[in-house]
Structure 1
């Protein structure tokens, strides 16, 4: 948000943020309420952390 404010010289460049991401593992949708959902800290132990920078 701070970077966007500097680029646009606007203190409130957006009013609504929309994050739309669905994670599928082996064809099954994962939600944070499911115990089977992998945690980020577990993913970066197994894979390079740069894969999370999308």
Structure 2
């Protein structure tokens, strides 16, 4: 499995995870920072490898 595919799966999992109803605001804030970082990584890989 490629590095890009792994990052894409992690991004989708985090997007789902931060929407859970029982999360505290602090948890969501921290998790969104991680999500933003992974999203940036995915976007960088898409650009680097010409993925659409």
Output the TM-score relative to the length of structure 1: 0.24
Larger fraction in helix: 2
Name the larger-Rg structure: 1
TM-score when scaled to structure 2?
Answer: 0.24
Which has more strand, going by share of residues? 1
